[in-house]
Amino acid sequence: MKILIVLLAALWIGLPCAAGASVGSAVDVSIVTDNGHSLPFYPHRSAHGLKKVYAEAVRGDHYRIVVRNNLNRRVGVVVAVDGRNIISGQKSWLKNNERMYILEPYAVYEYSGWRTAQDKVNRFFFTDAPDSYAAAFGDTSAMGVIALAVYPEVQRYKRPADLSTTAPGARPQADAEAKASARGEASQSAGTGYGREEYSPSRQVSFDPEARSVESILIKYEWRATLCSKRIIHCGTTYGRPHNRLWDDYGFAAPPPPVRP
């Protein structure tokens, strides 16, 4: 299945990421703020093809998702923030038929905002969940999660050479069923806002993704107070631990301990 996707025209050039501030195998993913700080990651769970980590968000910080392709062929990357595809703005399930960005072999790209035109994005920034881009559409189903799915290009004897420079389409629109206001969301939850407009050139290319992703990465960003309360990080007398059963896909409440006589 051949589809059109958006390719960022320029490689990322910026400050180096801090040691240990990336996650992934097929690709390396970092979250970098405009002051050059790479958010530290706190492991939650890793399995074959799936990696889950926590990260600390700072209210008001603008950030970029920096991705390095470690493979020797092109890959398509579906990126969703708070459950919304960052190119189309639609609700994402990280499937290979969604809009995606393309990385050349061993290349590094950055994704800094919601794409609103061929040459424009509106910046990502950390804000309270009720003020987030997703909440504006009444969608809080994946709040506080930066998600990526990596699809290698189907191997061909000869790579298709056709390119298109047509615009990727209109500004993102809400799903028909998601119109309700989400102002009732607890303000202690973190989300990503629809920030200032910024120049970001792109073009469309032909790309044939494999049916299954080679890797998925989920980054759950939270305010520091939340990470402390979940004991993900060390805060005063609170001691962190690498895993948290409440964020496990199949976690259930453990029975209470037996009553001692």
pLDDT recorded at residue 221: 96
pLDDT tens-digit map of 104-149: 999 999 999 999 998 999 999 999 999 999 999 999 999 999 999 9
| 233 vs 227: CA distance, rounded Å | 6
Q: Is the pLDDT of residue 199 over 70?
A: yes
Predicted TM-score (pTM) of this structure: 0.76
Token digits of residue 185: 């969301």
Token digits of residue 127: 């804000």
Compute the mean pLDDT over every residue in the chain, rounded to the nearest whole number.
79
pLDDT recorded at residue 8: 56
pLDDT recorded at residue 157: 57
Q: Is the pLDDT of residue 172 over 80?
A: no
Higher pLDDT, residue 228 or 182: 228
Domain boundaries, the chain: 3-225
The candidate with the shortest Cα–Cα distance to 148, out of 69, 43, 219, is 219
The candidate with the shortest Cα–Cα distance to 112, out of 227, 10, 25, 240, is 10
The candidate with the shortest Cα–Cα distance to 55, out of 43, 69, 70, is 43
Segment 19-26 mean pLDDT: 79
pLDDT recorded at residue 21: 82
Q: Is the pLDDT of residue 166 over 60?
A: no
Please give the share of the chain, as a percent, with pLDDT higher than 70.
70
Segment 51-60 mean pLDDT: 95
pLDDT recorded at residue 6: 62
| pLDDT band for position 239 (cuts 50, 70, 90) | very low
Least confident of 13-27, 161-175, 225-239: 161-175
